[in-house]
Amino acid sequence: MQRHTMCEIDLAAIRNNVRVMKAHVAGGAGLMAVVKANAYGHGAVPVARAALEAGADMLAVAIPEEGIELREAGIDAPILVLGGIEEEAAEAVAAHGMTQVVFDEARVRALSKAGEKLGKPVSVHVKLDTGMNRIGLRTAEDVQALVRLIDSLPGVELTGCFTHMATADEEDRTGTLVQIARFEALCEAIAQVHPGRIMRHAANTASIFCYPQIHADMVRGGIALYGYPPVPGVSGLMPAMRWTARAVFVKTIAPGDRVSYGGLFEAKEPTRVMTVPVGYADGYRRALSGCGCVLVRGKRAPILGRVCMDQIMVDVTRIPDAQVGDEVVLLGAQGEDCISAEEMAAWLHTISYEVLCSPGKRVPRVYLNA
Catalytic residue set: 36, 261
What residue ranges in 217-270 does DSSP mark as E strands? 218-221, 241-246, 249-253, 258-259, 265-266
Distance between CA atoms of residues 245 and 359, nearest Å: 12
What residue ranges in 235-354 does DSSP mark as E strands? 241-246, 249-253, 258-259, 265-266, 271-276, 293-296, 299-302, 312-315, 327-334, 337-339
State the DSSP H helix or E strand holding residue 293, giving kind and residue range, or none if neither: strand 293-296
312: nearest Cα among 245, 359, 215: 245
Local structure of residue 153 (DSSP, 8 states): S
What count of Cα atoms within 13 Å lies in the side-chain half-sphere of residue 10?
A: 15
Angle between helical axes of 140-152 and 105-118 (0-180°, round to 10): 20
Distance between CA atoms of residues 212 and 140, nearest Å: 24
Cα Dmax for the chain: 79
- The neighbour count for residue 338, using CB atoms within 10 Å, is 14
CA 268 to chain centre: 42
Q: Are 33 and 66 in contact (CB under 8 A)?
A: no
